[in-house]
Amino acid sequence: MIPINLIPYAFFFILIIGFLALTLKIVPEYQRLVVFFLGRFQAVKKPGLRIVVPGIQQSVRVDLRVITMDVPSQDVISRDNVTVKVNAVLYFRVVDPEKAIIQVEDYYNATSQLAQTTLRSILGQHELDEMLIERDKMNADLQEIIDKQSDAWGIKVTNVEIKHVDLNENMVRAIAKQAEAERERRAKVIHAEGELQASEKLLAAANVICKNPQALQLRYLQTLNDISNENSTTVVFPLPIDMIQAMMGKKE
């Protein structure tokens, strides 16, 4: 039991403890404290033990760490009139706590809405093939535009990544057919190039054989050797090359 004569001192001590609890603010290293004095901006207090007088001063904590924001899936109509669903992820951080609190009511929600509208606007200017192939370029464009528009809020956009581009089943089948046709085209081109190179080599070999009759004799013997090495029931009676040439000359 507290003696009656000490009750006023105990009450006063409790008031002091409560006042200090409301006055002293511990600010972590990754936060800043935006302080207002009678409604007017006063200062941005750095990490440590800070004093904020209740009733006269108001304070708002601002986190300076990088925030990961998942941009909801958006319906986008590409420049070639294809409807797709696209979602992305946005990385940003507060670099100016004063602007983040004073210039915008809710910087997180404002950045989210800005990212959604910018995503639809930028991707709508590209064709479907560009969305699927040139993602790095579109990521850079999105980051530049969002960062520029959110700069007035004290926001720095560090990165934007497109996560998924979802297509309907009809478009998936159409793209599969297009890819198959492209593979067939490449196969035909490669086959034609091979035929051309082979014909050039054969023509060069024929020119060499025409200039050197001994080469024709060697080729003749090699052909006979290849036939004899195979498991075949074919019987070959070789004729001298001179006799063949004489018969060809007589025919001419």
Is-contact 134 78, C-beta < 8 A? no
Q: φ and ψ at 161, to 5 degrees?
A: -130, 125
What confidence tier does 17 reach under pLDDT thresholds 50, 70, 90? low
Mean pLDDT of 203-217: 67
- Given this model, what pLDDT does residue 233 score? 59
Q: In what order do the strands lie in the sheet with 83-94?
A: 67-77, 83-94, 155-166
- Given this model, what pLDDT does residue 112 score? 92
pTM for this entry:
0.63
Which residues have CB under 8 Å from 99's CB, separation 6+? 152, 153, 154
Mean pLDDT of 8-33: 74
32-71 pLDDT, tens digit each: 999 998 888 888 898 888 888 888 888 899 999 999 999 8
| Averaged pLDDT score across all residues of the chain | 79
- Provide DSSP, 108-157: HHHHHHHHHHHHHHHHTTS-HHHHHH-HHHHHHHHHHHHHHHHGGGTEEE
